[in-house]
Chain A
């Protein structure tokens, strides 16, 4: 999807060197838009490559979640640890995984971050302070709590940020991890990406409370409900939670409402999704919303916006080219790395 928007009619409200109420400059907004656009472009490409049979495994997209990915990870400091999930590949990009890295992952090539041992966005990289997600949803919340625990025990200034879909909040590990972090006031931020479908299961079959942040009170921690399609909202809420964590005040639960604009994964056309939901979702497309925001802020001209889009598309083209040329791992490399030396 290409975004074509008219220039704003009013004067821009952010000068080139100004910082806005969130402490963000025009340059910050351009970075955020670029990451949001990159996630969309990258994942649309992945879906096409799958349909063409050029990849194996599974393809997931965060279409509709891009503002959560970029806005949250942008609130982290370099020493903080990202414990991402499957719909926030933009967070990987912000932490330093390149489109080439992630494309190599999808192609299962020799030089992929996991060397073909795991696929798609399932890659950690400690040099970038990224923990690899596992498919067992919720299981990385205790892991993230452990990272935050280590930070506290050692007097480090490290905050852990992790995610869970609203579907994953039904799993015991969600409770164990959040409760543990709450009891020990650990520097942890948990973002619930509530797109209202756990694969095909709607929320009325997932939980009985009105909002999932209602549970925060039960844990004795703050919870905030936000619009997860609004980059400013996501950044503001995460930044507040990160600052709170850094100040020793413990974990925060953020529930970011959003839409899943595609199926659960590439194979799923989401026939079961309510038509009104999709229409509403498209009206709240985070890519279009972010583009509009940049224009209104005066952070870009329509031409500059097009340039960013074109640059991102080129970057993804190049990533495909590099990944397809990269060798597959040697079969016997399957034996390597089971144990650390």
Chain B
């Protein structure tokens, strides 16, 4: 079987689920005839027809609200936000309507909202954001953010089969990156929601991250390896629920923790991770918990500004060295 890009993995996972389960359908802007802004659903209209690939008006609240209604009816909608940034237009439908439905009156809400997210493409303040932290604190939602083709395919399938609203953050800068292509199993598999993955085992520092930053972190870890520091890179994969046990287990082993995320620092999910480790593994720590994240500004457009804004390998290496020396 040929190697797959991250984009192909998502597309294939979605297509396989639609073939497997007739209740799965897609809705969103420009997803049918046009095949989606990023071509995730290219060819879907031809294969599945208009009743399974629904082009919608430009109306995120209607898209998410309609997905909720269809999910209550027992279908498994996969709604596409053209860019994750636009999810704010449907914020209330997610955090008040979909997230609270099962708790309030017991109806399962098996729906997925796909969110092409992330920066590094110089796309500016409204096509580059990482809005996961807004949803991370909403009981009733699930949030995943895969970094590899394997995980992307396994998690889109798990998200579709889940009976709760799942936000699926797919990083645009990974879509067609040839360096991360993977040969995926022929057989059906899922990646369970809530399970982290050790992307690089190590003994000296735990580096907790997800999404695009997994690759920056792995590069940094390799550089540190040359300096005799063995960094364990833990890819969260699922942000809500997150793998508390894997985080604590790794920190108890390494006694040092760096959290890296592409979202801005203040109120990012790194703060919560730090609090949990401080609460539950304080006596294991040999150094302060550190965070590397985007700076607290809107994400700027021009390349030097965006590069300054985003975490990168160099910034991660600097903090890893300080942690190792502490």
Which residues of A does B touch, CB under 8 Å?
81, 113-114, 117-118, 122-126, 131-132, 134, 136, 139-154, 158, 160, 172-173, 176-177, 179-180, 183-184, 337-341
Contacts and interface: CB of A to CB of B under 8 A. Distances in A.
Interface in B77-100: 77, 92-93, 96-97, 100
A114 B104 CA distance: 6
Contact of B106 (A146, A173, A337): A337
B59 interface: yes
A126 B163 CA distance: 15
A123 B142 CA distance: 23
20 contacts: A126-B106, A131-B72, A134-B100, A140-B97, A142-B66, A142-B93, A143-B68, A143-B72, A145-B62, A145-B69, A146-B67, A146-B69, A150-B74, A153-B25, A153-B70, A177-B62, A183-B57, A337-B106, A339-B140, A339-B142
B52 interface: yes
Most A-side CB within 10 Å, residue of B25, B59, B142 = B59
A122 B104 contact: yes
B297 to A, nearest CB: 28
Closest 3 CB pairs of A and B: A146-B69, A142-B65, A146-B66
Interface in B46-82: 51-52, 54, 56-57, 59, 61-62, 64-75, 77
Contacts of B140: 338-339
A153 B75 contact: yes
B69 A114 contact: no
Interface string B146-184: 000000000000000001100000000000000000000
B116 to A, nearest CB: 21
Contacts of B77: 146
B105 A147 contact: no
Most B-side CB within 10 Å, residue of A81, A148, A150 = A150
Contact of A340 (B25, B59, B96, B109): B109
Given A179-B57, A340-B163, A132 B101 contact: yes
A160 B69 contact: yes
B104 A146 contact: no
B65 A153 contact: no
A139 B96 contact: yes
A171 B164 CA distance: 27
B103 interface: yes
B298 interface: no
Contact of A147 (B72, B97, B102): B72
A339 B102 contact: yes
A93 B102 CA distance: 22
Given A143-B68, A154-B73, A180-B57, 15 more contacts: A113-B105, A118-B104, A131-B69, A131-B72, A132-B104, A143-B65, A143-B72, A146-B68, A146-B70, A149-B54, A158-B73, A176-B62, A177-B65, A339-B164, A340-B108
B201 interface: no
B303 interface: no
Contacts of B285: none
Contacts of A142: 61-62, 64-66, 68-69, 93
B70 A150 contact: yes
A152 B57 CA distance: 17
Nearest to B102: A340
B54 A153 contact: yes
A153 B77 CA distance: 11
Contacts, number: 145
Contacts of A144: 69
Given A139-B92, A150-B75, A340-B102, A176 B65 contact: yes
B107 interface: yes
B75 A154 contact: yes
A146 B139 CA distance: 23
A53 to B, nearest CB: 26
B102 A338 contact: yes
A125 B106 CA distance: 8
Contact of A134 (B69, B96, B107): B96
Contacts of B27: 149
B96 A145 contact: no
Contacts of B96: 134, 136, 139
Contacts of B93: 139, 142-143, 173
A141 B65 contact: yes
Interface in B88-144: 92-93, 96-97, 100-110, 139-140, 142
B52 A153 contact: yes
Contacts of B65: 139-143, 145-146, 173, 176-177
A121 to B, nearest CB: 12
Nearest to B27: A149
Contacts of A117: 103-104
Nearest to B106: A337
A125 B54 CA distance: 28
B73 A146 contact: yes
A144 B174 CA distance: 36
A114 B103 CA distance: 8
Most A-side CB within 10 Å, residue of B96, B103, B107, B108 = B103
Contacts of B72: 126, 131, 143, 146-147
A160 B65 CA distance: 14
A124 B70 contact: no
B164 A143 contact: no
A341 B163 contact: yes
A337 B107 CA distance: 10
Contacts of B92: 136, 139, 173
A145 B66 contact: yes
Contact of A180 (B56, B71, B107, B142): B56
A117 B75 CA distance: 25
A148 to B, nearest CB: 7
A149 B61 CA distance: 15
Contact of A179 (B51, B59, B67): B59
